[in-house]
């Protein structure tokens, strides 16, 4: 029993240390956002004829000297495509325009390119759509746990689950900050998956403890 308690103390100690380091890193370096969520430049190419995405990628990578580029078709007719890069100078835009014109033998290039700057997403803007559903889900789960495992202690089970959820979320955010993993469209789905996993594992533990208690009573 003493060994188990000691291991728990070490585990929670490590978690707290990681969270503190994560807070410090976030304060000084901020979080690392992927291209789609950081300030970027969107370039819309209206080619006016069928194009090969492979060719567009080759040209874009040659012009902007990076592979960190997002591509998205604008129309269903395969005649226009959107390119997103972190930044693009006027020289690069003109270079891109010239290469596209030469590749597809375009005569009129006045409306070939439209450029716009997209602002940086804030972390709270990314999280905002998920807040209400997660809060409602958490409240429902806590009520269920408190009623279902009343023999284990209503407030004890609720408190334990709540603390685990808070610590796990803080730990995930801290690890993201420390490792500099870019925050992208995949971040929240993964985070919600881990959130659900903590709930499931905790409830499984409660169920095991309840069954053990019933067995001992009989």
Mind listing the pLDDT tens digit for each residue in 117-126? 888 888 888 8
Whether pLDDT at 76 is above 80: no
- Between residues 105 and 7, which one has the greater pLDDT? 105
| Degrees, nearest 5: CA angle 161-165-167 | 115
pLDDT of residue 160: 93
> pLDDT exceeding 70 applies to what percent of the chain?
96
pLDDT of residue 179: 95
Whether pLDDT at 103 is above 80: yes
pLDDT of residue 78: 82
Whether pLDDT at 67 is above 70: yes
pLDDT, averaged across the chain: 89
Count of Cβ atoms closer than 10 Å to residue 67 Cβ: 8
Average pLDDT of 170-195?
93
Whether pLDDT at 6 is above 70: no
pLDDT of residue 139: 95
* Per-residue pLDDT band at 158 (split at 50, 70, 90): very high
Instruction: List the domains of the chain with CATH numbers.
Output: 2-33+122-217 (no CATH), 40-118 (3.30.70)
pLDDT of residue 3: 55
pLDDT of residue 25: 93
Residues 196 and 192: their CA atoms lie apart, in Å, by 6
Q: Which two tokens stand for residue 46?
A: 């209206």
CB–CB of 49/109 below 8 Å? no
β-sheet with 113-118: strand ranges across: 70-73, 80-85, 40-46, 113-118
Residues 92 and 105: their CA atoms lie apart, in Å, by 19
């Amino acid at each position: 029993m003493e060994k188990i308690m000691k291991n728990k103390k070490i585990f929670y100690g490590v978690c707290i240390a990681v969270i503190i380091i994560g807070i410090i890193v976030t304060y000084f370096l901020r979080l690392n956002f992927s291209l789609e969520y950081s300030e970027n430049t969107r370039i819309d190419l209206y080619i006016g004829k069928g194009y090969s995405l492979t060719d567009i990628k080759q040209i874009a990578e040659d012009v902007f000297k990076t592979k960190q580029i997002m591509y998205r078709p604008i129309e269903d007719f395969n005649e226009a495509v959107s390119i997103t890069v972190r930044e693009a100078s006027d020289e690069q835009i003109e270079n891109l325009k010239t290469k596209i014109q030469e590749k597809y033998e375009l005569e009129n290039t006045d409306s070939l390119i439209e450029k716009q700057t997209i602002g940086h997403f804030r972390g709270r803007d990314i999280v905002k759509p998920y807040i209400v559903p997660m809060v409602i889900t958490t409240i429902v789960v806590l009520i269920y746990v408190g009623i279902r495992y009343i023999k284990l202690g209503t407030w004890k089970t609720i408190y334990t689950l709540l603390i685990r959820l808070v610590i796990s979320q803080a730990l995930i955010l801290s690890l993201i900050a420390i490792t500099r993993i870019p925050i992208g469209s995949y971040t929240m789905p993964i985070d919600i998956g881990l959130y659900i996993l903590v709930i499931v594992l905790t409830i499984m533990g409660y169920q095991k403890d309840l069954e053990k208690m019933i067995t001992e009573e009989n």
